[in-house]
Amino acid sequence: MGLRDKLGRARSYVRKLRLSLGPDSYYQYKRGREHDRKRAEHDREQASDSAERERGGAERQRDYDERYAGERADDIARERSEREEIEPDR
């Protein structure tokens, strides 16, 4: 096999590679579709994670509000009982 044959095969390979990677080629289309699919999957996962974080934050806030309301009710009851104890002594 001579140098001319090797150069001919290399030229054919480069030409086919250039055509297969051109902007209108099937491989570019396929690569674009794969990119769009992965991007959509990533966006769905991100939206799911965001919704989960929001639910967790809302749940923590509800727990905090319930605990705070309970503590406040206990404080009010204690203050009333202390006032009732002090008032009869007058």
pLDDT in tens, 20-78: 777 788 888 998 999 999 999 999 999 999 999 999 999 999 999 999 999 999 899 88
In this structure, the number of other CB atoms found within 10 A of the CB of residue 28 comes to 13
Q: How many domains does the chain have?
A: 1
Domain that holds residue 60: 3-89
Q: How far is CA 67 from CA 54, 62, 64, in A?
A: 20, 8, 5
| pTM score of the predicted model | 0.50
Q: What is the pLDDT of residues 13-36, one digit of tens each?
A: 888 887 777 778 888 899 899 999
Residue 89 has pLDDT above 90, yes or no: no
